[in-house]
Amino acid sequence: MKFKRILLKLSGESLMGEQGYGIDSKRLASYAAQIKEAVASGVEIAIVIGGGNIFRGLSGASKGFDRVKGDQMGMLATVINSLALSSALEAAGQPAQVFTAIGMFPIGEPYSKWKAIEAMKQGKVAIISGGTGNPYFTTDTGSALRAIETEADVMLKGTRVDGIYTADPEKDPTAEKFDTISYDEVLSRNLKVMDITATALCKENSMPIYVFNMDKEGNLAKMLAGDNVGTYVHA
């Protein structure tokens, strides 16, 4: 086993499945099954989910929403997704606990590093919602921050693409995949893996990032077993 504790970042858009909006119950059940299997193998897991399947603050701002209110709406979207994943995990027999970056009792417990770590040590999945709790920060940056805070061995970014490419593989068929890449190269090439703040935060705190396709069932287990199913970002 390569990692003892991981922070898994899940895309809100991926939760839509084939629906185009909202939460697809099949995709949710698939994620829950994969996460349960990983916990059973001895890995401690914290999770951060985006909210793009429900609302994006930045796109809301472009349509006339106040940016701060738009980002707060986005934070609430991540809470909805976190509750949905928590429910799916519990239904699959995997204990989970939802934490919120801003006070929202009884929806979730206010986040603290120590309580999240304690939950993981008890075999629960710690689902940390609400981003950083502040506007102007993405859930990627929230994920990087929570990975560092909870002393994870790696931040896993589960996307619909199987790693980092020289260009967008969905738009450019000649794009080539990296097996490994440095933080500096990600930043200098302006590769759209995560936002610059998240990448820089991981670089400054030596938090490795692994980008892989979470939508393909079995990939999480393969990645944790050491198979090359994505791109590893490191110093």
pLDDT (tens digit per residue) in 178-195: 999 999 999 999 998 889
Query: How high is the mean pLDDT of the chain?
Result: 94
- The pLDDT confidence band at residue 82, using thresholds 50, 70 and 90, is very high
**Confidence bin at 19 (pLDDT 50/70/90):** confident
Task: Tell me the pTM.
Answer: 0.95
60: pLDDT strictly greater than 70: no
Residue that has been written with the tokens 């099949």 in this structure: 26
Q: How confident is the model at residue 160 (pLDDT cuts 50, 70, 90)?
A: confident
Domains of the chain: 5-234 (3.40.1160.10)
What does the pLDDT read at residue 1?
52
